[in-house]
A and B are shown apart, each in its own frame.
Chain A
Amino acid sequence: MVNHTYSLLKGYSLMFLKGLGGSLYLTFGALAISFCLALVITLIRVQNEFSGRFRFLNCLVGGCVTLIRGTPALLQLLVMAYVVLIRVKHAGTVAIITFGLNSAAYVSEILRAGVNGINKGQYEAAITLGLGSDQALRFIIMPQVLKNSIPALLNEFSGLLKETALAGSLGVLDLTQAAMRLRASTFQAFTPLVVAGALYLGVTFVVGRLIRQAELMVKRRATRRNQENVERAMQNMSVNG
């Protein structure tokens, strides 16, 4: 049994790697679209909440977010493939756009929850100091929102990675699809599916660790930068008497 599993893995490792590559390609492609779009949506909604601007756009994006969150991802994928993006021949592109839009709706809600968790007084304090609304959001509000949202965003990443398995319904080669193809050609279900599961788990674990390391690094760097600024300012003071 062990030998058989080993030989199957050895013989079809390229297939797994291709599947994993496909899943990562779909995930990171969708994530790029999702994050950019979610930031725009969040900025529109936050500006509307804090300063009353963009009322129409706020209603529009609110409606889109509700629509996306209220329908299954598979249905969205099929609608995009066979209705909206019917002229796009590359199924991977259709999948990336669909997952990107779908994820943007969830990420924007995560970021909105992050904004709601921040005391509005900080925004007002920034405004009373003379900062513009955009500057207040960029330097004060959004950095806190992003930092507070990291655990939820990590969760969204892992959800998105798993969701890419739906792309198989358009014939895109992802990890699940690779396992299914191996199952069909080897008549072995257990090993390909378990290996695919382990690879999903491994990627989620590694990305989680990397993000936590990056978080710590940013924190350490900020502390060091602060310390240097204070030391430099004190040196300047002593030089100037």
Chain B
Amino acid sequence: MVDVVLETRDLIKAFGSVVVLNGINIQVRFGECVAICGPSGAGKSTFFRCLTLLETPTGGDIIFRGESLLAPGVDKQQIRQQMGVVSQQFNLFANLSVLENITIAPIKVLKKSPEEAAKEAVELLSTFELLDKATQYPHQLSGGQQQRVAISRALAMSPAVILFDEPTSALDYHLRNDVQKTIKDLHNRGITTIIITHDIDLAEGVATRILHMQEGKLV
């Protein structure tokens, strides 16, 4: 059980009388790349938001590295630092340059020096072939470049796991292949990834395990 990085136990989320997640059980091990597929309205994004604690589950539990995230007094900020999140719309900070997008959390949260954070950011940008974009702003980048900046931003926090929410939904065919390659590279580097997607081709192309969600349940 030691190698399980993230686990949900009978996870339930309801909005009023509408039950969106109905007892989700999942275990993700270190180094795995798990894809959770399903049609629109299956509850995938709500599951993603529960895992990242943007929504508080109605019932059940989420265990991250052996610690319950829903236990009273748990430091959510501390937990979030260890989970990299790349959301559907990338959500890059519009007022910050690419470099600042990547360095802000290491500087403000991990208390790294600006020089150290910038050095690590430049290394990440170099890995993702974005070094020439370091001083540009998000609106000056293509969808694929924004995606890679969002991944770099998540990786800058050295997370234990990276969660992707519909990583290819906003991208064209070529960019989709780029993203697939990027996720594969992350997996090859031993980074645990969870992908929420309705793109079955992407899931088959990158995941070590594919789970299907339908009407709030894993089937």
Q: Chain A interface: which of B19-27, B62-70, B83-91?
A: B83-91
Closest CB-CB distance, A239 to chain B, in whole Å? 10
Closest B residue to A125 using CB positions: B91
| Count of interface residues, chain B, beta-carbon cutoff 8 Å | 38
Interface string of A121-163 (1 = CB under 8 A from B): 1101111111110010001100110010000000000000000
Which residues of chain A are within 8 angstroms of B77 by Cβ–Cβ distance?
Answer: 130-132
Which residues of chain B are within 8 angstroms of A128 by Cβ–Cβ distance?
Answer: 52, 54, 80, 83, 85, 87
B35 lies within 8 A of chain A by Cβ: no
A116 to B19 CA separation, bound complex (whole angstroms): 29
Closest B residue to A124 using CB positions: B54
Interface string of A89-129 (1 = CB under 8 A from B): 00000000000000000000000000000110110111111
A226 lies within 8 A of chain B by Cβ: yes
Question: In chain B, residues 78-119, which have Cβ atoms closer than 8 Å to a Cβ of chain A?
Answer: 78, 80-81, 83, 85, 87, 89, 91-97, 99-100, 103-105, 108-110, 114-115, 118-119
User: How large, as a class, is the contact surface on chain A?
Assistant: 20 to 34
A229 to B93 CA separation, bound complex (whole angstroms): 18
Which residues of chain B are within 8 angstroms of A229 by Cβ–Cβ distance?
Answer: 99, 103, 114, 118
A230 in contact with B134 given A130-B77, A144-B94 (CB within 8 Å): yes
Question: In chain A, residues 211-233, which have Cβ atoms closer than 8 Å to a Cβ of chain B?
Answer: 222-223, 226-227, 229-230, 232-233
Closest A residue to B88 using CB positions: A121
Closest A residue to B132 using CB positions: A230
The answer to whether A119 and B91 have CB atoms under 8 Å apart is yes
B34 lies within 8 A of chain A by Cβ: no
A131 to B122 CA separation, bound complex (whole angstroms): 21
A1 lies within 8 A of chain B by Cβ: no
A164 to B81 CA separation, bound complex (whole angstroms): 50
The answer to whether B134 and A130 have CB atoms under 8 Å apart is no
Q: Please report the number of residue pairs spanning A and B whose Cβ atoms sit closer than 8 angstroms.
A: 96
The answer to whether A140 and B95 have CB atoms under 8 Å apart is yes
The answer to whether A226 and B83 have CB atoms under 8 Å apart is no
Closest B residue to A129 using CB positions: B105
Which residues of chain B are within 8 angstroms of A143 by Cβ–Cβ distance?
Answer: 95
For the complex of A and B, 10 pairs with smallest distance between CB atoms: A130-B81, A125-B91, A121-B91, A233-B118, A129-B105, A233-B122, A128-B85, A130-B109, A226-B135, A230-B134
CB pairs A–B below 8 angstroms (28 shown): A119-B89, A119-B91, A121-B89, A122-B93, A122-B94, A125-B91, A127-B80, A128-B80, A128-B83, A128-B87, A129-B80, A129-B85, A129-B109, A130-B81, A130-B109, A139-B108, A140-B95, A140-B96, A226-B100, A226-B134, A229-B99, A229-B103, A229-B114, A229-B118, A230-B134, A232-B118, A233-B99, A237-B123
